[in-house]
């Protein structure tokens, strides 16, 4: 019994355009197969048939169009890569335990070729992750080459050092804030027991500590003196209970009490703890590192703004984009 003849597959116009674009940048047939999912023999046959059908002048024009499209992709990749760096760098929250490399890790893990549509499938395998890491390193080197002498990349290193120093200082800062709250509570007879029994929140003491920490942190970030602390207030609720709130914008979860006087006493303790914590030895060190980070973030935001970066890339060349010229 004879076998059933296999139907020969043809590439679509869209697939052919992608093959032409890849070959225009001297991509190997094996890499084209990986990037497009089209078997390399089929891709090569389709490309050669297309070549034979093109007059020489049209072929040159097509290659020029492919090069222009490749450069547009290159430009898009670099601007997105730079924008992602800017969006990733920030100042830490008081409970952030990541180091600077972990903060930027999301930039280096993203598959930018997939995001711009250059690669049709998101490859999450170990091999795919190695490809992404290799390509992101190439993008990083390309971005530095395009911006050489125009972007002060030391600002990113300075931000990272300040972040890591601030993270260490914040560990001390959190410990000091907790100790201050507990010391004040220890001075007030049976107040801890009254808070635990009188609060409708099981984690009342922890919420007090976190509220104090958030208040002091917001003042350091804003550069306000301790006399201008966001208010700790005992606010009446509609259900006859009283809530202790931290800051006008409610920086963290409040505490709810059935007894008004107890709520007011807790608010007073928290204000006192915040003032003492602000005057602690670690505050000035944290504030210094925050200022360094904020200055570097502002500098990088200005230098990597797309309105500045795109003309800069268009007016320069890197190793990757020389093939498009």
| Cα angle, residue 267 at apex, residues 263 and 273 outer, rounded to 5° | 145
Average pLDDT value for residue range 187-205: 88
Over the stretch 266-295, which tens digit does the pLDDT of each residue have?
999 998 988 888 887 788 889 999 999 999
Looking at residue 324, its pLDDT comes to 61
Identify any residues that bridge with 314 across adjacent strands, giving them in sequence order: none
Looking at residue 5, its pLDDT comes to 46
Q: Is it the case that residue 38 has pLDDT exceeding 60?
A: yes
Over the stretch 122-164, which tens digit does the pLDDT of each residue have?
888 898 889 999 999 999 999 999 999 999 999 999 999 999 9
**Cα 200 to the chain's mean position, in Å?**
37
Looking at residue 165, its pLDDT comes to 94
Q: Is it the case that residue 4 has pLDDT exceeding 90?
A: no
H helices within the chain, ranges in order?
13-24, 29-36, 40-52, 56-88, 100-109, 112-115, 126-146, 154-187, 191-198, 204-222, 260-278, 282-303, 306-314
Residues 196, 205: contact at Cβ < 8 Å?
A: yes
DSSP single-letter state for residue 40: H
User: SS3 of 15, please?
Assistant: helix
Looking at residue 278, its pLDDT comes to 87
Domain ranges of the chain: 6-53, 66-151+304-325, 158-285
Tell me the whole-structure pTM to 2 decimals: 0.73
Q: Is it the case that residue 323 has pLDDT exceeding 70?
A: no
Looking at residue 8, its pLDDT comes to 61
Distance (Å, whole) CA 35 – CA 156: 32
Scored b (16 or more CB within 10 A) or e, 31-51 reads ebbbbbebebebbbebbeebe
Looking at residue 230, its pLDDT comes to 63
Over the stretch 44-88, which tens digit does the pLDDT of each residue have?
999 888 888 877 767 677 778 878 888 888 999 999 999 999 999
**Distant-in-sequence, close-in-space partners of 56: CB < 8 Å, separation ≥ 6:** none
Distance (Å, whole) CA 190 – CA 195: 9
What is the band of 7 on the pLDDT scale with cuts at 50, 70, 90? low
DSSP single-letter state for residue 8: P
Of the candidates 103, 153, 112, the residue with the CA atom closest to the CA atom of residue 136 = 112
Tokens 């992101």 belong to residue: 136
Convert 70-110 into a string of H (helix), E (strand) and C (coil). Answer: HHHHHHHHHHHHHHHHHHHCCCCCCCCCCCHHHHHHHHHHC
Residues 231, 268: contact at Cβ < 8 Å?
A: no
Tell which phi-psi region holds residue 247, choosing left (phi > 0), alpha (psi between -120 and 50) or beta. left
Looking at residue 1, its pLDDT comes to 46
The widest CA-to-CA distance across the chain, in whole angstroms, is 98
Tokens 């890790």 belong to residue: 105
Looking at residue 320, its pLDDT comes to 82
User: What is the Cβ-side half-sphere exposure of residue 274, based on CA atoms within 13 angstroms?
Assistant: 28
Residues 233, 266: contact at Cβ < 8 Å?
A: no
Average pLDDT value for residue range 216-244: 81
Distance (Å, whole) CA 178 – CA 163: 22
């Amino acid at each position: 019994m004879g076998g059933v003849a296999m139907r020969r597959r043809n590439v679509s116009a869209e697939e052919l355009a992608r093959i032409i674009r890849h070959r225009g940048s001297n991509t190997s047939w094996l890499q084209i197969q990986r990037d497009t999912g089209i078997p390399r023999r089929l891709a090569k046959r389709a490309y050669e048939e297309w070549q034979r059908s093109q007059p020489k002048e049209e072929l040159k024009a097509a290659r020029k169009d492919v090069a222009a499209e490749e450069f547009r992709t290159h430009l898009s990749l670099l601007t997105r890569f730079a924008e992602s760096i800017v969006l990733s760098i920030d100042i830490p929250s008081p409970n952030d335990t990541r180091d600077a490399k972990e903060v930027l890790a999301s930039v280096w893990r993203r598959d930018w070729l997939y995001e711009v549509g250059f690669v049709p499938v998101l490859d999450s395998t170990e091999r795919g992750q190695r490809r992404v890491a290799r390509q992101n390193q190439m993008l990083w080197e390309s971005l530095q080459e395009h911006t050489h002498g125009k972007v002060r990349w030391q600002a990113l290193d300075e931000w990272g050092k300040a972040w890591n120093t601030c993270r260490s200082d914040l560990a001390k800062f959190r410990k000091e804030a907790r100790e201050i709250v507990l010391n004040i509570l220890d001075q007030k007879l049976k107040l801890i027991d009254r808070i635990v029994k009188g609060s409708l929140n099981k984690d009342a003491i922890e919420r007090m500590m976190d509220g104090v920490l958030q208040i002091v942190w917001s003042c350091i970030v804003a550069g306000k003196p301790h006399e201008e602390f966001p208010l700790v207030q005992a606010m009446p609720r509609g259900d006859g209970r009283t809530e202790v709130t931290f800051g006008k914008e409610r920086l963290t979860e409040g505490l709810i009490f059935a007894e008004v006087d107890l709520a007011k006493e807790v608010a007073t303790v928290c204000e006192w703890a915040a003032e003492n914590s602000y005057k602690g030895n670690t505050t000035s060190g944290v504030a210094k590192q925050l200022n360094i980070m904020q200055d570097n973030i502002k500098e990088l935001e200005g230098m990597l703004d797309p309105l500045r970066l795109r003309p800069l890339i268009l007016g320069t060349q890197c190793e990757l984009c020389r093939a498009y010229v």
